[in-house]
Amino acid sequence: MKPLICQSCGFPFSEAARGTNRDHSKNSEYCIDCYKEGEFTDHHLTLHEMERRLLMMAREHNEISLEEAQQIIKTLPDLKRWKMTNIL
């Protein structure tokens, strides 16, 4: 089975870490850290802020390497949350 990739943060996530819709069903597009009960957990997050957050995770918390953060950042503009076509 192909891993799920969060369409907000770009991280792979497991079935158990799927976000939830308003009806509490599981969502396959977003992880639970980004999407709960049919809403983004950080409504005002911008693409630039997400990039900074990823770099901070790599530099300060060692959750991911700097190289991994840079790879994820490259994919962000193609993810569903950040595509400009979603706002039109």
pLDDT of 3: 83
- For the chain, residues with pLDDT lower than 70 are 1, 84-88
pLDDT of 2: 76
Least Cα distance to 17 among 29, 31, 3 occurs for: 31
pLDDT of 1: 65
Residue boundaries of the structural domains of the chain = 4-87
Least Cα distance to 45 among 78, 81, 11, 79 occurs for: 81
Q: What is the pLDDT of residues 3-23, one digit of tens each?
A: 899 999 999 999 999 999 999
26, 67, 76 from 35: Cα distances, Å: 10, 25, 16
What pTM was computed for the model?
Answer: 0.87
Distance between CA 7 and CA 22 in Å, rounded? Answer: 18
